[in-house]
A = this chain, B = another copy of it.
Amino acid sequence: MEFHNVTATLLLSCPDQRGLVAEVAGFIHDHGGNIVHADQHTDSEQHIFLQRVEWDLEGFKLSRDKIETEFGDLAKRFEMSWSLHFSDHTPRIGMMVSKLAHCFYDLFTRVRVGELKAEIPIVISNHPDLAEATESYGAKYVHLPISAATKGDQERAAIEHFEAAQVDLIVLARYMQVLTPTMVGHFRNRIINIHHSFLPAFAGARPYHQAFQRGVKIIGATGHYATEDLDQGPIIEQDVVRTSHRDSRRDLIRKGADLEKVVLARAVDLHVRNRVLPYGNKTAVFA
């Protein structure tokens, strides 16, 4: 059995400059922390330094509040964007679904069998279909129908429900609606979508039909943060599977469903384990 102490994790990015690694490592070391994972990357084109560092809180001399303030000073000096996470917080996920249920079931099952260290307290849908299933998992189901006229209202309601449920992350599990900039902006880099193609190929509607039409020999799926531009957000994870001329549209959909589940689950897992650092329209994934 592996034993895990509580750890703190910093995700940070800033303009590249000398001594950053030494500075951050020194901060942790000087207060008695033991680094259990550190990974960093310099985007040498954009001159951005990106780092993930995780240390054991056992024996660390700063309280959680103090870490915020003391590291905040250091961060200011280097113009860092940063976030701080503690491993004893279980991330809370709000899900949005329509009717297609394979990703929905997959995520709940992963939570149930312990693969995904998270809770899913709430599901919001524009359809009533998955209410019973959601409740069987002990989560709240909110049915918010959508029409062109009510879209704004529906999203405002969704935001309120998610805020009330104190979700850390929203997962669009084959949710067939485009979010407005309002919602995307409200949860910046905290909404993960699964697109059922190998982006940027086959962006937009019905990617498997496009793939079938084009006669590709491989299809893919993409887990990414939702942004204002449909299917253009920072990519977290992608994977592919082989196809052949024998595969009908329906076969592509069937093969793709497995990809969607696995890729979405990996993207969500990376996010909730604080392994993803979005910057610009990209991500660094410290896996």
Contact = CB atoms under 8 A, between A and B. Distances in A.
Contact of A34 (B18, B35, B262): B18
Interface string A229-249: 000001111111010111011
Contact of A218 (B38, B136, B198, B284): B198
B41 A246 contact: yes
A43 B102 CA distance: 28
Contact of A287 (B20, B239, B246, B250): B246
A257 B25 CA distance: 35
Contacts of A244: 285, 287
A78 B281 CA distance: 41
The 5 closest A-B pairs by CB, nearest first: A215-B282, A201-B201, A22-B25, A22-B29, A245-B284
**A41, A42, A218, A250 — which one has the most chain B CB atoms within 10 A of its CB?**
A218
B44 A248 contact: yes
A78 to B, nearest CB: 13
This chain's copy number in the assembly? 4
A238 B258 contact: no
Given A22-B22, A22-B28, A242-B242, A2 B248 contact: yes
Interface residues of A, number: 71
B38 A21 contact: yes
A8 to B, nearest CB: 15
Contact of A282 (B20, B245, B248): B245
B200 A218 contact: no
Interface of A: 2, 18-22, 25-26, 28-30, 34-45, 50, 100-102, 105-106, 109-110, 112-113, 115, 136, 198-202, 214-218, 220, 234-240, 242, 244-246, 248-250, 254, 257-258, 262, 265, 281-285, 287
Contact of A217 (B105, B215, B237, B246): B237
Contact of A265 (B25, B26, B41, B258): B258
